[in-house]
Amino acid sequence: MVLLPKVLELTSQSRWDINKVAVVMDMREKMFFSELPAVLKKLKRRGEDYRIIFLDADDGALIRRYKETRRLHPIGGEDLDAGIEAERGLLGELKNTAHRVIDTSNLNPHQLREVIFDYFRGSLPEKRLNLTIVSFGYRYGAPSDADIVMDVRFLPNPYFVEDLKSLSGLDPKIKEFVLEKEETKEFLSRFVQLMHFLLPNYVKEGKSYLTVAIGCTGGMHRSVVIAEQLARSVAEDGVYNIKINHRDITKS
């Protein structure tokens, strides 16, 4: 606990712009509660803008959680009731000084996350999902880090057109060949609609990175065209960081 002011001092001297720090400390440290008031007063004198968020729960919820995890109470050991009572006594002063007390008794982890995010949302930067769209060839295997994999081998293949087979999906002739097909138009309409539904929900869930892999046989034609079209459609929303990787475009 006594190191907290030093931690804040080091972050302020960092060559990076660090203006938000979250600190988690183990209350089982014997000196924690005796040192806490003095440390908080020191931070206040220095003009540090800090917030204490106190997570509380009723006895029934705490007992249920300990039984579900099969862990001993850090203070009471096997005597759970005594441990909870002692813990409340130790934390009483801290709870009274907290800027926000959140009753977590009936909250699941996702709901708790939303409550905390709502509290800090005004001071948080806008969160942007980092979306990577990968085109690939099944001949070389699907990307192991893909969150979503879409197989477009059902689309007409320009590889079997002699004048087109040597061109890549970045060539206007390949793009026209693939996109003019009725099955491609319907597929793209449905696929883009699905992604417009999924992406905001991934952001809501707290996901920062998402990889969408689109595969055809060799990764040179159809998957490249569809990846480019998907990126263009999603980019219109203006709320995602988009990167395209045509992994196998030069292999076929």
Supply the DSSP string of 80-144, one letter for each residue: HHHHHHHHHHHHHHHHHH-SEEEE-TT--HHHHHHHHHHHHGGGSPPP-EEEEEEEEEGGG---T
> Residue-wise over 196-235: b if at least 16 C-beta within 10 A, else e?
eeebeebbeeeeeebbbbbbbbbbbbbbbbbbbbbbebbe
Q: Model pTM?
A: 0.58
The per-residue pLDDT for 183 is 95
- Which of 52-56, 132-136, 148-152, 181-185 bottoms out in mean pLDDT, i.e. has the lowest? 52-56
Boundary of a domain, candidates 84, 100, 123: 123
In 3D, which of 24, 112, 114, 116 has the Cα closest to residue 61?
112
Q: Is 171 helix (H, G, I), strand (E, B) or coil?
A: coil
Boundary of a domain, candidates 104, 123, 142: 123
| Residue-wise pLDDT tens digits, 187-241 | 999 999 999 999 999 888 778 889 999 999 999 999 999 999 999 999 988 888 8
Assigned token pair, 61:
């919820």
Cβ neighbours of residue 81 closer than 8 Å, sequence gap 6 or more: 59, 63
Q: Which domain holds residue 29?
A: 4-123
Residue 252 belongs to some domain of the structure: no
Has residue 77 got a pLDDT over 90? no
Assigned token pair, 222:
């159809």
Has residue 44 got a pLDDT over 70? yes
Mean residue pLDDT of the chain comes to: 84
Boundary of a domain, candidates 60, 91, 123: 123
Going by pLDDT thresholds of 50, 70 and 90, the confidence category of residue 66 is: confident
